[in-house]
Amino acid sequence: MRIVDLDENTRSHILSDLLKRDPNNYDAYGKTVQEIVDDVKERRDEALFTYTKKFDGADITAENVRVTEEEIEEAKALVDPGLMKVMERAMKNIREYHQMQVRRSWFDTKPDGIILGQKVTALERVGVYVPGGKAAYPSSVLMNIIPAEVAGVESIVMVTPPGRDGKVNPVTLTAACLAGATQVYKAGGAQAVAALAFGTESIPRVDKIVGPGNIFVALAKKAVYGHVSIDSIAGPSEILVLTDETANPRFVAADLLSQAEHDELASAILVTTSRKLAEQVAEQVDVFVKELSRKEILEKSLENFGYILVAPSMEAAIETANEIASEHLEIVTKNPFEVMTKIRNAGAIFIGEYSSEPLGDYFAGPNHVLPTNGTAKFFSPLGVDDFVKKSSVIYYSKEALEPVHRDIIAFAEAEHLTAHANSIRVRFEG
């Protein structure tokens, strides 16, 4: 990995470099995605099944598009019992964490006849997109479904691409069953997102779509936003490790590579106050890359978006971390909790040398669906709040409204909205 002295020019260059990874920059695919979305909206099942045959090679029809109970039982039988137990333990942690996020409706009653409040209501139907193909990501299934289930969503509709044999990956399907998916459909890509957004004869329309996917899925979610809600337009994975001289260089190198292996656009950045540690980490990265299975992806990722930044002070290092606003931020310093209090922008914060990023990906409980590409400055991790909506509640008695009604009339007339003013005035005529 390249070692660079951190200054204003360096920071500006890196921020500009990282923004090139934003999915919103991939408009070359936008026209194709929009055509697919429009076609599914128009032709519904017919278009969905045509694209499934074209892109996934599977013969899917209205008769077999929904996963059956028999298919779920068959999938469970194929999953390693040891992995099943691991998923169940992870689920317990994820559910307990998200149960702490649950909000309740509240009402405040005043003695003069005013009741104000907020009514919290779970979304009725949510769509969860899960990538398919050879790879299976059961952790992503758990992280997207469990918060919805905890929030009280009645219908959790999962879509995932089938294999050429028309079957869903057994690990993916088992995770969906364990987590609480109410329906699973064999559909993927932009066409599945469109089906969830507009509904087809076979797949019901949902209120919100969540879940990761490739650039076509990301752009499809962007295209249907407004017709339905979405979680985010997710970009490539990223990690920033913030250290001083006390960090273990072998641990740091391993953690940087844990995200760099995702794909060639993944970002791995070390910001440290120690040049000696920077050099040690760079050496250890080279050792690991030669040993790990995804060598080519790691090399491209580090070449494109891998940096070791040597900061003149911890204050400068923290300022840089806040500017980059990384999806994953590890703090490995002498006083990591003190440093944590100064962090404003990060998707998830991992504190101390034994809180490695994969702990959050799989097991600890906090959600691993996190804001990317600097959006941690204003977005939060996926959670229970993403699956509820809030309604304001207002009640005034006549006695409560009377002393303030002229104020409301004055406000409305100042905005030249005479019907607004009249709506209040008529209640006190005569």
**327 counts as catalytic:** yes
* CA trace torsion 222, 224, 226, 229 (10° rounding): -80
Rg of the chain (C-alpha set): 25
DSSP class of residue 68 equals P
Six-digit token pair at 199? 């509904």
Sheet arrangement for strand 306-310: 3-5, 306-310, 267-272, 238-243, 328-332, 348-351
Helix (H) or strand (E) holding 270: strand 267-272
Six-digit token pair at 92? 């317990």
Contact residues for 49 (Cβ-Cβ < 8 A; gap 6+):
60, 61, 62, 65
**98 counts as catalytic:** no
In this structure, which amino acid lies at residue 37?
V
* CA trace torsion 364, 365, 368, 371 (10° rounding): -110
In this structure, which amino acid lies at residue 84?
M
Of the candidates 327, 330, 353, 357, the residue annotated as catalytic is: 327
Of the candidates 71, 98, 238, 328, the residue annotated as catalytic is: 328
In this structure, which amino acid lies at residue 325?
A
Question: Which residues carry out catalysis?
Answer: 327-328
